[in-house]
Structure 1
Amino acid sequence: MNTNQSSVVPDAQATPAECATAVAQVVQFFETLTPESVAQLARWYGPDARFKDPFNDVVGTVAISAVFAHMFSALDQPRFVVTGQVTQGLQCFLTWEFRFYFKNFKQGQPQVILGASHLVFSAQGQVVLHRDYWDAAEELYEKLPLVGGLVRWLKQRASR
């Protein structure tokens, strides 16, 4: 294991406990993410890491940080709650709830998106691939005032 870093990082011969600890540290980073801590993303991600979700496909810590910084500017009180995890070797699969409020909507209702992330770590313990899976139509578009009705109608028509 690499002891030059302040966090536990898996190497090619890492034990399951070491990998689980590295995953736990990344989970804690995301569960406590703030606009200020986005700048620390490079501590956990490799310089050429790739991030992909239904709206973004970017490479590099600057671009990935920009995605999360935008999240804080576009939404009120966004936060992640990790609800499950499976770790195998240098990768893990996390299930999560993304909780937030829409800005500029007078609803004031809390919103929740259910999703999952596939994380692949380098031998040095940095995330090299972060792929988020969630249904943008069901989890987001259906909740929007004007678009939601159309999406629900289309979904209903397609299910018959």
Structure 2
Amino acid sequence: MEQHLINFVDIYNKLSDKNLNLLKSIYDENVIFVDPLHEVEGLEALTKYFENMYANVSSISFDIKEHFVLDNMGFLYWDMKFSHSRLNGKKVITVAGHSKLTFKGSKVVNHRDYFDVGALLYRNIPLLGQVIKTIEKRATS
């Protein structure tokens, strides 16, 4: 099981908009992928999700901080670094998160990501980000 998780991480570190066919080597045909913004069912839909993600970012990478395995599940703790032409003045945004992966054999059948949507998106949108930062400042003072 540990090797399946290591293989998963290796593939993610190689992923780009040019080699999304690698997804089929780590995800089951009927995979369910859920994050705070999306729910995707099936490998074809997941591949389209990744196509859209790569089309909308200038750069993206994942730095895996920790990982562990329990039965048929893998857990990853990561920092995602990305830049987007319409967020944070095109500067790199770092978001901490974690993933729970359920394996069937060597492939992931369920992938659930957890992260702070505010850190990913809302705080980095012009104007809205300033409003959120002002609200947070008042709430903590």
Asked if Structure 1 and Structure 2 have the same fold, meaning a TM-score greater than 0.5 normalized by the shorter chain, the answer is yes
Unaligned runs of 5+ in 1: 1-18
State the 1:134 CA deviation: 0.2
- What is the percent sequence identity of the aligned residues? 25
The structure-2 alpha-carbon separation of the partners of 1:154 and 1:105, relative to structure 1 and needing over 3 Å to count, comes to: closer
State the partner residue of 1:85.
Answer: 67
The structure-2 alpha-carbon separation of the partners of 1:105 and 1:150, relative to structure 1 and needing over 3 Å to count, comes to: closer
State the 1:58 CA deviation: 0.9
Task: Determine if contact 2:78/2:97 at 8 Å carries over to the other structure.
Answer: yes
How large is the Cα RMSD of the aligned pairs? Answer: 1.8
Which structure 1 residue ranges, 4+ long, deviate > 4 Å from structure 2?
Answer: 157-160
The structure-2 alpha-carbon separation of the partners of 1:43 and 1:98, relative to structure 1 and needing over 3 Å to count, comes to: same
Give, in whole Å, the separation in 1 of the partners of 2:17 and 2:99.
Answer: 21
1:64 matches 2:46: yes
The structure-2 alpha-carbon separation of the partners of 1:144 and 1:105, relative to structure 1 and needing over 3 Å to count, comes to: closer
1:43 matches 2:25: yes
State the partner residue of 1:14.
Answer: none
1:53 pairs with 35, 39, 43, which one? 35
Per-residue deviation, residues 68-103 of structure 1 (Å, max 9, x unmatched): 111110110112121110111110110111111111
Task: Determine if contact 1:85/1:95 at 8 Å carries over to the other structure.
Answer: yes
Q: In structure 1, what residue type is equivalent to 2:117?
A: A
Bigger strand fraction: 2
Task: Determine if contact 2:33/2:41 at 8 Å carries over to the other structure.
Answer: yes
State the 1:52 CA deviation: 0.3
State the partner residue of 2:122.
Answer: 141
SS of 1:94's equivalent in the other structure is strand
SS of 1:69's equivalent in the other structure is helix
1:9-158 equivalent positions in 2, closer than 5 A: 19-104=1-86, 107-122=89-104, 124-158=105-139
The structure-2 alpha-carbon separation of the partners of 1:126 and 1:97, relative to structure 1 and needing over 3 Å to count, comes to: same
- TM-score, length-normalised on structure 1? 0.80
- TM-score, length-normalised on structure 2? 0.90
How many residue pairs match? The answer is 141
Query: Which shifted more, 79-88 or 22-31?
Result: 79-88
Unaligned runs of 5+ in 2: none
Q: In structure 2, what residue type is equivalent to 1:116?
A: H
Q: In structure 1, what residue type is equivalent to 2:126?
A: P
Q: Which has the larger radius of gyration?
A: 1
Task: Determine if contact 2:79/2:97 at 8 Å carries over to the other structure.
Answer: yes
The structure-2 alpha-carbon separation of the partners of 1:33 and 1:115, relative to structure 1 and needing over 3 Å to count, comes to: same
